Structure 1
Amino acid sequence: MLGPLEVSGELAAVSVAPGRQEIVLGALVLELNRVVATTRLVDVIWAHHPPKTARAQVQICISRLRKALSDGGVDATIETRGGGYLLRAPEEATDVGTFRRLVTEAHALARDGLKMPAVETLRTATSLWRGRCLAGVPSEVLANTAAQWDESRLEAVETCMRLLLELGRHEHLVGELMQLVADHPLRERLRGHLMVALYRSGRQAEALDVYHQGRAMLTEELGLDPGRELRDLAQAILTDDAVLALAEPAEPRPLVVTPLPETVHVRSAAPDPVVTPRQLPADIGDLVADDTIVSAVCDAVTEGQEKGQLNVVLVLGRPGVGKSTLARHVAHRLATEYFPDGQLYCDLRGPGGQPVDPAQALGRFLRALGVPGQAIPDALDERAEMYRSLLACRRILVLLDDAVSESQVMPLLPGTGSSGVLVTSRGQLTALPGTRRFDLEPLGPEQAIQLLGRIIGEHRVESEREAARVVIRLVGGLPLALRIIGARLAARPHWSLTSMWHRLENEQRRLDELAHGELSIRASLSLSYDGLAAADRRLLCLLSLADGMEIPSWLGAALVDDRTPHPADLLEPLIDMRLLDITAMDQGGEFRCGLSQIVRMIAHERLPAEIPEAERAGAVRRMVGGWMALAEEAHRAIHGGAYTIVAGRGERWHPPADHVQRCLRDPLGWLESEQANLLNAVELAARSGLDELCWELATTLVTLFEARGYPELWERTHQVALTAVQEAGNERGRAAVLGSLGTLHLYRGEYEAAGPYLSTALEIFERLGELSGQALCLRDLARIERHHGDDDRALALYECAERHFVRAQDVIGRAYVLGEMAQITMRRADFARTRSYLDEALGICRSAGFDRGQALTLRRLGQLLMYQQRYEAAERTLLEVLAMVVASGDLVGEGYVLHDLGRVNAHLHRVEQAVQYYSRSARIRERILDHSGAAAVRTDIVAILGRAMTSVG
């Protein structure tokens, strides 16, 4: 799992078909030895709008997986349970299970002071990674869980670096840490480790340079300053603080605050306080939170007391994530021991959601501190001065809940460090100086289960654990939503979790179900929504039209038709209010955002009132047009131009040119990374009546499907597009889709099925006078004739296709046909003509920069050398091709060239090497569902082994 999905057993490596089977197996392994509901599997395969046959298709996947596991001798079984499936296997049978165990062991060793064994264990754990978790598995839902595992790896790396620094290995770590910081420039902890390693190695100036580089990058790209911890570290390095000296740390012990010395007060204009305020709201007894976060917030609030430094701690998060609940719990936990002089509290989001004026909040605080009403000044500045004077020599905790802005908070800050300040906010409050920031995330599955159990009783949750998991997933683990659900179930003991599951499944009514008494998800989110500027509200509503989990930075600009050179800026207000979450960085260096299901629902609910239907239609058209423009540019970059494709007339929306250029430095990689969004765009175009864009985008994506071996996605997008063009009466689009489906059948080796598709498409293209379409159909019809053994007929069709490609100015299409013609003349031993075809095709592909075409032509050149029995030269050529296809991620090409290398080695009587090449080819061709090709390879394996045994006998 920790990389591309791989399965092996005692008997053999297991080939898992890409697409649905990979997704289902990934979902089952992530929930190893736990039941995964069929509805969950449907969701992870089809995030939106599953087909009517979804359950049947899941059953087929399960059946095929069972057979594959059994055939490979894998120590795992898939059991059918009520409403779902359970993959039963030992935890150690998966690399994720091994990783989890090793990290747990490492932490235990570190706690016992065995740091070097802990480091070695962490090194072993992180070495399990072979790439991103579940790399290449096309599921939006699984991507989130996979990202959590990748984050766990980075946390393990950070812990390992910290332990090595504590062991005095700083000089040996500099190089490794430099690479880690280069790979993960936004991780401040890694940057801090590098600074310490450089400093302790006598490289103080370089350590400070690392800090300034990070600060410049954060400021330029995200508009943020480094965190408090990194800033303090830079200051310590600058002043050569003794705290950075290497020393064996003492055993951790509870923080003890030295009582403040008696102080002689000079009487001021402020009256002496006469009361100790105790304003904290009640703590919540059933709090479920990450103990690490709770402890870290507690430490941050109190750590400056001994030094007299004021600590302002900011707890951030989206609406309903539990900021206020956690802050109140922390305040109660610290109140008696650390802040005996009292606690002040103010909800800065007043009745009706209107921000509380800071002067009003100060008036309340002053009265709570014993100042008579008539002695409280009118002016804000004077109130703030009196407030700071009263807190100067006292240890008081100030809890400011749901702050709206920095200007609201600043007057409420004490002037000295004996007091503490804890602030919660939906916004970033980046201009608030000297803050420690903590971002809260929704609860994980087990924490959410625990919270529900505390509210409605563990027995009810345990008896319907799978239903509980579905309910948690439907509300995104949001604590407020879970409290509402728990309250409703507690009030109605006769309701089951399953019944709540069915209520929440209806997206149109989900927000109505998430309300109980004064608790309401809609009300909580509405505060944030109503606080947005009108333009930001409109953009959020339009973003709800975008299917998929991740939103690229240019998409907001497309939705509102804004031609700004920095489209990411449009999303910033929504990110600041935690209505969008930054989820990743794309290939162009821009951030990507996620829109949670709950936020999406309320935005979609407000959509009709905010934006007229005509404007919504225009936004969808621009959004799909943006994906089309980028996919088209990727195709051009790969093929050297708009070749081997029928161009459509759909309206494009072009993102900024520099962004496109950055994204498409690796065009095939970009298509792979955006696969889910591009598939959603095809389906959105079909639902929105954009038939022209729908068929164009579907056929353009064949560049990805063909190179990476995704026949299921090829068929899925084209069936959607075919329905769209047929309903719209779009004959040109219908011909393009039918022709491409014919090519798909050829790709699968289904020659008889391909013929009718290609013949119908050719007839339409001829009627419309579409040269490119005719050329593509003639090319593929020639392949069918060649398969049937009629080389003369095939050659005539290829020559006709070549003439059409020339007239259409499609040089790559012509190069492809020349290569196919070379296959025929090669079999006829007309080697001079074959070489002429191949040399011309290779020159065309090199001139256009079409790498895949170059690899294909060179492979045919290698085959020609085999025909001429020049096996060593053939091997050299084919090894060059293998390096090219592996570097580009061309699985189809890799499978073919490995087969060729097996044949070369067979001719050279290298049996062992030939079998290795054949075996690798067979595995790849099974993976891309090329079963006939895999069978042909295995026939060659049997043949060479048979000859070897005969020779020995």
Structure 2
Amino acid sequence: MEFGILGPLQIRDDAELRVVPAAKQRVLLAALLIRRGQVVPAGQLADTVWDTRPPRSASTTLRNYVMRLRKGLGPAGERIETRAGGYLINVDPDEFDAHRFTVLQELGGEALRHGVPARAAALFDEALGLWRGPALVDVDSDALHRAEAERLAEARLDVLESKLEAELQLGHHAALFGELRLLTAAHPERERFWVQLMTALYRSGRQSEALAVYRQVRRFLGEEIGVEPGTELRAIHQRILCADPDLDELAPRQGAAERGTLHLATVTPFQLPPDLPDFTGRAAETADLTARLTAGGRRVPLVAVVSGGPGSGKSALAVHVAHAVRAGHPDGILYADLRGTHREPTAPCTVLHGFLLALGVPACAIPGGTAERTALYRSMLAGRRLLVVLDDARDAAQVRPLLPADPANTALVTGRGRLTDLAGAHLVQPAAMSDREARIFLARASGQTRTTGDPHAAAALVRVCGGLPLALRICAARLAARPSWTARELADRLTADGRLLDELRAGDLDVRAAFDGTHDALDPAAARAFRLLALGGAPSLRVEAAARILGEPVPLTERLLERLVAAHLLSTPEAGEYRYDDLLLVYAREQSLRLDSELDRRRAQEQAAQRTGPLVAMAC
């Protein structure tokens, strides 16, 4: 999906161009795009849409504009969210042409500073190619034009100046006369264009014409603006008068850089976080992944996916396995946190920039686009044996540009989704810790004597945590931080009425917050089902009973339940049966009390109370 303001407002969805015919809606969309990912207060939007003179009905009218805009944009309209006090639009940086323009401008400037004019010229050309006309040309808003369009127009001229500088360094002066004469006529106040025109003329053996240009610009500046030429103009004038031989030099001589190429250093990256000293259990999963990641004779790269719910320890398992297979990947290990459970995941283009830097590619040589970066990245990995660890992936689309192509490379991905649409991926789903593993882990993480001295209290902690590694780590951290506490005291706090999730917090470790990330990512219908189905009293139910509780047809209910299974919020012990883990059951009931209406809760409880016989699995 692409969003553009460098010209007429443009939204492109799967090669289909979306048009916003209403003028006020174009202003609204442009104001949201300029502050993409941020909540724009409704009052500020109203001032922008009505140019500081909003009508009394602005609040209601603005809501109607948002509703129509969402409808008119099709799938792109889903990106617009209503928040407390305002609205925001979720747009990845690479989807927004003004952001891509800025990135290309920065990369081109860096290439020019490092003496790689060919690379700089190509980057500046790509940046200028994003422009389809004056910025926001069809957006009728004085405020936006003052704040953004003028700034972007200046940035475009800056890029044009830099691009012409790169062309001059490459010796293309003879081809620049016409363009520079037009630019000096259109923008006579920008002295750099005059400097470049004088340089191009002088290098073409037209010294007298270059001096005539100086007299022309000096006269203009004096008569129209009332100033003398600036330092750079005076300096180039003096050098031309003196026939300075250095003025004939092209790009600075820097070996390979002068020819537009770069020698890349051989770098062996190792970006993994430290392994956990108290890592416990997961013996079968570790053995399986270690064997697959170190096996030879592959025709395609191995991609292994560790999938699990919030707090299940999938990241810890991946890091532990990656350390274990380090010797099998002598050319290094790359690691990236993809932040897939956050509101704004890390864009693949950003990850590729970091990977290329880690592989020894100078910043000035890194392309601007995702496809170009992926191509360079895979070329850098060819013929090498590296492991790429991609933690917390949102979906397969985020992962694909980051996967290596050489069969000697491997990739280890973690995510809350199963990523089943990654072709050929090997899926691993860690189960909850066994009671024995959980007791060993608690002892290691909190100090041997804290839990082994009272095995009954330790068993109570293990039971209330339900084998969830995150909950167990929080218990261990709280015991380690409070030497005066016993395991029994902590167990009593956890089992006190209504305090379980409040107590399962330690620093930035928080079970409720981990569950929030998955719950908030659900579509509204699945989230409602997750909450209401927890009110029945038993942790398990069959699809027919769930349909009665929700008041929905069985096929639709089954689809909702399967979406919850895919999000690891329910499990399926057998076909047609769905089960909450203990902590998720507590969380779902808590969320229902907070978010669902009393009528919905009462109806769900009444329907659950009527379940009999095979419709309910009463085992806890």
Say if 1:314 and 1:435, in contact at 8 Å, map to a contact too: yes
Q: Which amino acid aligns with 1:610?
A: L
Q: Partner residue of 2:587?
A: 602
1:667-697, Cα deviation, whole Å (9 max, x unpaired)? xxxx3x55654x99xxxxxxxxxxxxxxxxx
Pairing partner for 1:523 from 513, 516, 538 = 513
> What does residue range 462-861 of structure 1 map to in structure 2 within 5 Å?
462-585=452-575, 591-625=576-610, 627=611, 631=612, 671=613, 673-674=614-615, 676-677=617-618
* Matched residue SS, 2:572: strand
Q: Paired residue for 2:347, among 353, 357, 371?
A: 357
**Cα distance in 2 between the residues matched to 1:605 and 1:351:** 21
What's the CA shift for 1:530?
1.6
Contact in 1 for aligned 2:539/2:585 (Cα 8 Å): no
* 1:328 corresponds to 2:319: yes
Once residues 415 and 263 of structure 2 are traced to their aligned partners in structure 1, the CA distance between those partners, rounded to angstroms, is 32
In 1, Cα distance between the equivalents of 2:343 and 2:488?
A: 35
Q: What's the counterpart of residue 277 of structure 2?
A: 285
Give 3-state SS (helix, strand or coil) of 1:481's partner: helix
Name the CA shift for 1:377/1:339 in 2 (closer, same or farther; >3 Å). same
Count of residue pairs brought into register by the alignment: 362
Give 1 or 2: higher helix fraction. Answer: 1
User: Quick one: distance in 2 between partners of 1:499 and 1:325?
Assistant: 28
Map of 1:261-300 to 2, 5 A cutoff? 272-300=264-292
In 2, distance between residues paired with 1:296 and 1:504? 35
Deviations 1:900-925 (A, max 9, x none): xxxxxxxxxxxxxxxxxxxxxxxxxx
Is residue 301 from structure 1 mapped to residue 293 from structure 2 by the alignment? yes
Contact 1:452–1:483 (CA<8 Å) still a contact in 2? yes
Residues in 2 aligned to 1:312 and 1:531: alpha-carbon distance in whole angstroms = 25
Distance change (3 Å), C-alpha of 1:301 and 1:353: farther
Tell me if structure 1 keeps the 8 A contact 2:337–2:391.
Answer: yes
Q: CA–CA distance in 2 between the matches of 1:273 and 1:605? A: 55
- Counterparts of 1:554 and 1:603 in 2: how far apart (Å)? 20
Q: In the TM superposition, what whole-angstrom CA distance separates every residue of 1:56-76 from its partner, at most 9, and x where no partner exists?
A: xxxxxxxxxxxxxxxxxxxxx
Note if contact 1:366-1:387 (Cα within 8 Å) is conserved in structure 2: yes
For residues 447 and 365 of structure 1, what CA distance do their matches in structure 2 show? 36
Which whole-Å CA distance do the structure 2 matches of 1:347 and 1:273 have between them? 25
2:448 and 2:349 mapped to 1: Cα distance?
A: 47
Contact preservation (8 Å) 1:550, 1:583: no
* Aligned-partner residue type, residue 334 of structure 2: L
For 1:269 and 1:275, the matched residues in 2 are separated by 18
Corresponding residue SS for 2:306: strand
**TM-score in terms of structure 1 length:** 0.37
- Report 1 or 2 for greater relative contact order, CA contacts < 8 Å, sequence distance ≥ 6: 2
Q: Which amino acid is 1:612 matched to? A: S
Task: Show the counterpart of 2:363.
Answer: 373
Return the alpha-carbon distance in structure 2 between the equivalents of residues 408 and 330 of structure 1. 22
Amino acid aligned to 1:323 = K
Provide the rounded CA distance (Å) in 1 between the counterparts of 2:416 and 2:343. 13
Matched letter for residue 307 of structure 1:
R
**1:625-684: per-residue Cα shift (whole Å, max 9, x none)?**
5x2xxx5xxxxxxxxxxxxxxxxxxxxxxxxxxxxxxxxxxxxxxx3x55654x99xxxx
- What corresponds to 1:394 in structure 2? 384
Q: Which amino acid aligns with 1:384?
A: T
Query: What secondary structure does 1:584 align onto?
Result: coil
Partners in 1 of 2:273 and 2:448 — Cα distance? 27
CA distance in 1, matches of 2:318, 2:466: 21
Kept in 1: contact 2:543–2:554 (CA 8 A): no
Q: Secondary structure at the match of 1:288?
A: coil
Closer/same/farther in 2, CA of residues 292 and 352 from structure 1, 3 Å limit: closer
Q: CA deviation at 1:271?
A: 6.3
Asked whether the 8 Å contact 1:487–1:516 carries over to 2, the reply is yes
- Please name the residue that 2:201 is paired with: none
Cα separation, partners in 2 of 1:615 and 1:307, compared to 1, 3 Å: closer
Identity of aligned residues (%): 37
Distance 1:475 1:295 in 2: 26
Q: CA deviation at 1:493?
A: 1.2
Q: Post-superposition shift, 1:452? A: 0.8
Partner of 1:416: 406
Structure 2 counterpart of 1:550, which letter? S
How far residue 604 of structure 1 moved from its aligned partner, in angstroms, is 1.8
Alpha-carbon distance between aligned partners in 1 of 2:527 and 2:340, rounded to the nearest angstrom: 21
TM-aligned CA deviation for residue 565 of structure 1:
3.4
Q: Shift of residue 614 of structure 1?
A: 1.1
Question: Does residue 312 in structure 1 map to residue 294 in structure 2?
Answer: no
Kept after mapping to 1: 8 A contact 2:264/2:362: no
Are residues 364 and 507 of structure 1, via their aligned partners in 2, closer, same or farther at CA, if it must alter by over 3 Å? farther
Shift in alpha-carbon separation, 1:438–1:269, aligned structure 2, 3 A = farther
- Indicate the residue corresponding to 2:337 in structure 1: 347
**Secondary structure of 1:542's partner?**
helix
Please state whether the residue corresponding to 1:466 is helix, strand or coil.
helix
Deviations 1:297-343 (A, max 9, x none): 1112222x3334311011112211111111101101111x1111111
Shift of the 675–569 alpha-carbon distance from structure 1 to 2, 3 Å rule, reads: closer
Asked if structure 1 preserves the Cα contact closer than 8 Å seen for 2:393 and 2:415, the reply is yes
**Could you list the per-position Cα deviations for residues 384-426 of structure 1 after superposition, in whole angstroms to 9, with x for gaps in the alignment?**
1111111111111100111110111111110111111001111
With over 3 angstroms needed to count, the CA separation of the structure-2 counterparts of 1:289 and 1:497, relative to structure 1, is same
1:449 aligns with 2:427: no
Contact 1:444–1:477 (CA under 8 A) maintained in structure 2 = yes
For structure 2, the residue ranges without an aligned partner over 5 or more in a row are 1-259
Shift of the 565–443 alpha-carbon distance from structure 1 to 2, 3 Å rule, reads closer
Q: Which residue of the partner structure matches residue 148 of structure 2? A: none
Which SS does the other structure have where 1:565 is aligned? helix
Contact 1:556 1:570 in 2 (8 A): no
Q: 1:373 to 1:350 in 2, by over 3 A?
A: farther
Classify 1:352/1:533 alpha carbon distance in 2 versus 1 (closer, same or farther; 3 Å). same
1:521 counterpart letter in structure 2: V
Structure 1 residue 507: Cα displacement: 4.6
How far apart in 2 are the matches of 1:360 and 1:401? 15
Answer yes or no: is the 8 Å Cα contact 1:270–1:389 preserved in 2. Answer: no
Residues in 2 aligned to 1:349 and 1:422: alpha-carbon distance in whole angstroms: 15
Alpha-carbon distance between aligned partners in 1 of 2:587 and 2:359, rounded to the nearest angstrom = 42
Structure 2 CA distance for aligned equivalents of residues 429 and 622 of structure 1: 35
- SS of 2:360's equivalent in the other structure is coil
User: Normalising by the residue count of structure 2, what TM-score does the alignment of the two structures yield?
Assistant: 0.56
